[in-house]
Amino acid sequence: MAASKEGFGLKDVTLDLPLGYIMGLIGPNGAGKSTLIKLILNMIRRDSGDIQVLGRDNIQEEEAIKGDLGVVFDSIFLNGQWYVEAAERIMAPFYPRWNSRRYADYLQRFGLQPGQKIKKLSRGMQMKLMLAIALSHDARLLILDEPTSGLDVLSRDELMDILVDYIADGRHSVLFSTHITADLESVADFITYINAGSVYFTGPKDEFEDSFMLVQGAHGDISRAQESMLLGLRAYATGFDALIRSEDRQTFLEAADPAHSGVREGRYQMQRADFDTVMRLTVHGPRQLGSTPEFHSVDGGTASSRVKSGASLSVRNGHEGGKQ
């Protein structure tokens, strides 16, 4: 893990997100999701590397890039003393493509009154206000940083519906950071899993879901040969949960220690690992995936997945010492 006394290190990261898709950025708290988003926005200093957003350098062309971004943070970025009507007066001049009519429509749709004070709004309503701002200037890339934490299930469903509508025209993309992985199961097309400042996986969601298997077995029933295949392991007094690559399933079974248990059939329970399982088993001392040509390569903390060429978000950077 690239952590130091000064703080946190984010190693080489590359993500490609084609237009018209939603990418879920997942990872445990402190993994580097917010750091990555803040690096994209040039809100925290990077020590090395470069960041390309929508094909442009995020510092050299900061103003143009930010004009194309819509951002929703986990906390409201507007002064709590302001009224809702002030939000448009303050934000609209930044964006040449600001659409007042669309903003008014969103306010109406979300039940936001112009005369309401922002600090009096609930967390869900504050998130909707940020969303209304982000959606009202035709942002090509919408970045959401943990927008659903603290929201009830109805608000989360509503947000997902809005995101699906937003990308439907194929001109917009969404980068959606969350640690509530259930949100992504229905809407995400791509998944980037960040762990300890490195990209562990980036690629289509279906591939992510097909790539990992959860293996459950009796306590200590793992041979040395099997251990080398484990991406993560959690042992209990009564058994263990382990994570392997799906393609290693057969090899894993064949490598079982015959002395430990005579019965091979039913010795292990195997099932497709969901997002939470992958995070749970890889968060402590992750074993990164080996470099395999047909798989999304992760080598020495560098990940790359090029699913489709075209307008995309690409991030390459090195960052240390930023805050989490």
Query: Residue 23: exposed, middle, or buried by beta-carbon count in 10 A (0-12, 13-18, 19+)?
Result: buried
Alpha helices in the chain (DSSP H): 33-40, 62-67, 84-91, 100-110, 123-135, 153-167, 182-187, 205-211, 224-227, 249-254, 275-282
Please answer whether residues 34 and 323 qualify as being in contact, where contact means their C-beta atoms are separated by less than 8 angstroms: no
Give the whole-angstrom CA distance, residue 255 versus residue 292: 21
Least separation in angstroms between CB 28 and other proteins? 21
220 binds other proteins (CB under 8 A): no
Which of the ranges 10-18, 37-45, 250-258, 292-300 carries the binding residues for other proteins, by CB under 8 A? 37-45
172 is a site residue for other proteins (CB under 8 A): no
Neighbours of 245 (CB within 10 A): 18
Q: Which stretch binds other proteins (CB under 8 A): 36-44, 174-182, 231-239, 266-274?
A: 36-44
- The site map against other proteins for 58-87 (x = CB under 8 A) is ----xxxxxx-x-x-xxxxxxxxxxx-xxx
The helix (H) or strand (E) run that includes residue 265 is: none
Regarding 41 and contact with other proteins (CB under 8 A), the answer is yes
**Interacting positions 116-145 with other proteins (CB under 8 A):** 117
Q: By CB under 8 A, which span of 9-17, 57-65, 176-184, 281-289 interacts with other proteins? A: 57-65
Return the number of the residue (44 or 303) whose C-beta is nearest other proteins: 44
Q: Does residue 253 bind other proteins (CB under 8 A)?
A: no
**Residue 189 in contact with other proteins, rule: CB under 8 A:** no
**Alpha-carbon distances, residue 132 vs 109, 197, 282 (angstroms):** 10, 31, 36
Residues that bind other proteins (CB under 8 A): 38, 41-45, 62-67, 69, 71, 73-83, 85-90, 93-95, 117, 322-323
